[in-house]
Amino acid sequence: MSRARADEEEYWHSSKFRAFTFDDEDDELSQLKESKQAVNSLRDIVDDDDDDLERVSWSGEPVGSISWSIKETSSSSASSLEGRDSSLQKGSSSYAAFPKQVSSYSLSSLFKGEIPNIQCGQMALSDTGVKNYAPELRRPKAEYKDYSNDWSPKDTVRRMQRGKVCSLERFRSLQDKLVLLDEAVAGHDGNVITAVLIFLKRTLRREILFRELEVRQVALCHLIHFLKETGEQKLLLDLLRPCFFSLSLQLSQYREHLNIQDVEKRREFLKGCIGLPFSAEDTSHIQDHYTLLERQIIIETNDRHLETSGQSEIFRKYPRKASILNMPLVTTLFYSCFYHYTEAEGTFSSPTNLKKTFKIPDKQYVLTALAARAKLRAWDDVDALFTTKSWLGYTKKKAPIGFHRVVEILQRNNAPVQVLQEYVRLVEDVETRLSLATKYKCHDVVIETYKDLKDRIQLTAYKCKVERGSAEEEKINSILNNMVRN
């Protein structure tokens, strides 16, 4: 908790938003406790045979469920299953009562109108005549026999939707094929659309197919999806080459880089992507991606050498956990702040070079550098990060991220109180400063702040938080005395 409890509550009450905490904290806690107690006390009373009661195996699969049975039947021999089953049946009467299958109708029988009069809840299926209520739902039977050669495109599509086999070969003219495709698209059934596309792909010249798909975006998407799934990369790239297609298709080519394991090849591929007609914004991201990987390859080669040769102290002291290849930019920056902080801007691995090349905003840079240097406990570097010199030669402390964030990060890296205190002092907002100082026991800062606020009461109260006879206590006493005299 970085925000003091009182603080939080105050924030809540002053805000128009409801806290998602229980209305009455204590009451609620006690309520949960209460029900827990009750539950626990009841354990003693009743014979605790949960397995029987819940009918679930410990992993939670209900006994008899399909996933449970897969485990059972595939792992154990049939005989042990048998034994288990019968014991279960004995164990619990309600379990034994697997409902006997009394149902007398199914979807298909329903459509054939075979059901007599079944009451189910409010639904009464009347027995008005033996006719096909919804024949389109009937399961295809003997469908291979009624084979005809003169189905219209519409009928063909409808038959295919019902899972029947249709010959498409008789659609010979381009005109016919396109009508067929349009019918399929109008049916919204991807299964059929794809089947027709496969037929067109086989029987049409590529240029013609592409040209026609250009004005049929839905069909086009299906073909692209199909090619992706079947791994026909070559045709896919051919499709993508002409630049009349939308942006997402360029991206789908960019996406290919993920399938390339070899870094050098991946880099080459990315280089090729830069030339694709992306939007200006995307082009710059992809350019950055390429530059980053290029950079990482250089750094990786260099550092692996440094590490194995054992020449560099930092690598000996903090061996690398993983390679830097394919890591995000911020991670790379952290890495370079960790291992290459002092390098001159000219080298590829120096943080300042990364910052410049990728136009990393100040805020992000400072955050990352701070985290890296704090991890190494290089407090001087931390100090330098926030020191600016004015043209008159004065030094000034400035943090683009706000000093309360600096304190948080330092604290997370176990900075000693002396270091922490210096930055707590720089937190501008008095409230935040006080709460941080109290939380991290930066006594001097607390005392000074109360002194500036001329808050006798708080100062007196704070006395019990510092050690008896310590310098801090003395300081408080002297301030209090001075305040009286004023």
Partner 1 sequence: MAAHLSSGRVNLTALREAGRRELREFLDKCAGSKAIVWDEYLTGPFGLIAQYSLLKEHEVEKMFTLKPGRLPQADVKNIIFFVRPKLELMDIITDNVLREDRGRSPQRDFHILFVPRRSLLCEQWLKEQGVLGSFIHREQYSLDLIPFDGDLLSMESESAFKECYLESDQTSLYHAAKGLMTLQALYGTIPQIFGKGECARHVANMMIRMKREFPGSQNSIFPVFDTLLLLDRNVDLLTPLATQLTYEGLIDEIYGIQNTYVKLPPEKFAPKKQGEGGKDLPTEPKKLQLNSAEELYAEIRDKNFNAVGSVLSKKAKIISAAFEERHHAKTVGEIKQFVSQLPHMQAARSSLANHTSIAELIKDITTSEDFFDNLTVEQEFMSGIDTDKVNNYIEDCIAQKHPLIKILRLVCLQSVCNSGLKQKVLDHYKREILQTYGYEHILTLNNLEKAGLLKPQTGGRNNYPTIRKTLRLWMDDVNEQNPNDISYVYSGYAPLSVRLAQLLARPGWRSIEEVLKMLPGPHFEERQQLPTGLQKKRQHGENRVTLVFFLGGVTYAEIAALRFLSQMEDGGTEYVIATTKLINGTSWMKSLMEKLEPAPF
Within 278-307, the residues that bind partner 1 by CB under 8 A are 281-282, 285-286, 288-289, 292
Which of 7, 182, 189, 455 touches partner 1 (CB under 8 A)? 189
Distance in angstroms (rounded) separating the CA atoms of residues 51 and 49: 6
Contacts of 89 (CB under 8 A, 6+ apart): 95, 96
CB 192 within 8 A of CB 217: no
Taking residue 222's Cβ as centre, other Cβ atoms within 10 Å add up to 21
Q: Which residue, 6 or 344, is less far from partner 1 as judged by CB?
A: 6
Please select the residue that binds partner 1; options are 4, 7, 9, 56, rule is CB under 8 A: 56
Least CB distance to partner 1 at residue 180 (A):
14
Please give the Cα distance from 483 to 372 (Å, whole number): 44
Q: What is the DSSP letter of 136?
A: G
Binding mask 260-279 for partner 1 (x = CB under 8 A): -x------------------
Range 64-93, binding partner 1 (CB under 8 A): 64-70, 73-74, 78
Q: In this complex, which beta carbon is closest to partner 1, that of residue 41 or of residue 481?
A: 41
Exactly one of 10, 86, 114, 137 binds partner 1 (CB under 8 A); that residue is 137
Q: With binding defined as CB under 8 A, does residue 194 bind partner 1? A: yes
For partner 1, the closer CB: 17 or 394:
17
Whole-number Å distance between alpha carbons of 368 and 371: 5
Q: Give the binding-site size for partner 1 (rule: CB under 8 A).
A: 125
Instruction: Work out whether 217 is an interface residue with partner 1 (CB under 8 A).
Output: yes
Residue 356 makes contact with partner 1 by CB under 8 A: no
Q: Does 258 bind partner 1 (CB under 8 A)?
A: yes
- Residue 19 touches partner 1, criterion: CB under 8 A: yes
452 torsion bin: left (phi>0), alpha (psi -120 to 50), beta (else): alpha
* CB of 334 vs partner 1, minimal distance in Å: 10
Residues 429-448 touching partner 1, rule: CB under 8 A, are: none
User: Would you give the DSSP letter of residue 188?
Assistant: T
Sequence-distant (6+) residues with CB within 8 A of 138 are 108, 111, 112, 132
Closest CB 85 distance from partner 1, rounded Å:
9
- Shortest reach from residue 292's CB to partner 1, in Å: 7
Query: Minimum Å distance from CB 373 to partner 1?
Result: 16
Q: How far apart are the first and last CA of the chain?
A: 38
Joined together, the tokens standing for residue 334 give 């952290």
Closest distance between partner 1 and the C-beta of residue 78, in Å?
A: 7
Residue 397 · residue 389 · CB < 8 Å: no
- In sequence order, the 6+-apart residues with CB closer than 8 A to the CB of 395 are 387, 388, 389
Query: In the window 113-132, what residues touch partner 1 (CB under 8 A)?
Result: 120-126, 128-129, 131-132
Question: Site for partner 1 (CB under 8 A): which residue of 13, 14, 26, 45?
Answer: 45
Judged by CB under 8 A, does residue 247 bind partner 1?
yes
The span of 100-108, 296-304, 336-344, 454-462 binding partner 1 (CB under 8 A) equals 100-108
All residues at 6 or more sequence positions from 303 whose CB lies less than 8 Å from its CB, including other chains: 315, 320, 324, 339, 349
C-beta closer to partner 1: residue 50 or 474? 50
d(CA 189, CA 335): 51
Calculated CA dihedral for residues 156, 158, 160, 161, nearest 10 degrees? 160
What minimum distance in Å lies between the beta carbon of 479 and partner 1?
33
Using the minimum distance from each CB to partner 1, give the nearer residue, 179 or 195: 195
DSSP per-residue letters across 296-332: HHHHHHHHHHHHHHT--HHHHHS--SS--TT--HHHH
Tokens of 61: 């699969």
- Report the residue from 6, 13, 14, 18 that binds partner 1 according to the rule CB under 8 A: 18
Residue of 6, 14, 46, 467 interacting with partner 1 (CB under 8 A): 46
